Amino acid sequence: MQTRIREASEKRGFAVSRLLTHWSEVVGETVAAVTRPVEVSYGKGGMGATLTILTTGPQAPMIEMQKEQICERVNACYGYRAIARVRITQTAPTGFAEGQAVFAPAPKAAAPAPDPEIEASSASLSKDVTNDELRLALQALGANVLMKSRNGKTQR
């Protein structure tokens, strides 16, 4: 399957298929929600490629202002300055392959089930706080800290 994906993406100029499959991680969720990468075209001189991004008309001015940031993030994905220009096209909200497929941001991974022991510890630490919102926020923070320290991922 990975070979077929690579072949299909290379036909459109995407040497790194990660740009297609992880678009929301590369450019950010807000930009990915209104854009789709369509094509990477290379000039004759080979000095930087042009990335074509698909968006709808109302979103185009906002994306136009973010072209430099998009270019930097995409180049970070490639690992070198592969993209020199970003071109925006305004059409229907369908993506790659002439509207046959729509690339939606990948769904977020589900959070692991909380450990009852850690929840009890964090609840006991914040039990004296009278403000409900503050107590719940402190309880969540305590649970995160205790979970990370248990996993050996404490930061200095």
Q: Give the chain's domains with CATH numbers.
A: 2-90 (3.30.300), 116-150 (no CATH)
Mean pLDDT of the 17-43 span: 83
Is the pTM value of this prediction over 0.95?
no
Share of the chain above pLDDT 90, in %: 12
Give the pLDDT mean for 79-95.
Answer: 76
pLDDT tens per residue across span 97-153? 454 445 455 677 776 677 888 888 888 888 888 898 888 888 888 888 888 777 765
Name the band, by pLDDT with cuts 50, 70 and 90, for residue 65.
very high
123 Cβ contact list (under 8 Å, min separation 6): 139
DSSP helix/strand/coil, 72: helix
* Whole-angstrom distance, CA of residue 70 vs CA of residue 64: 10
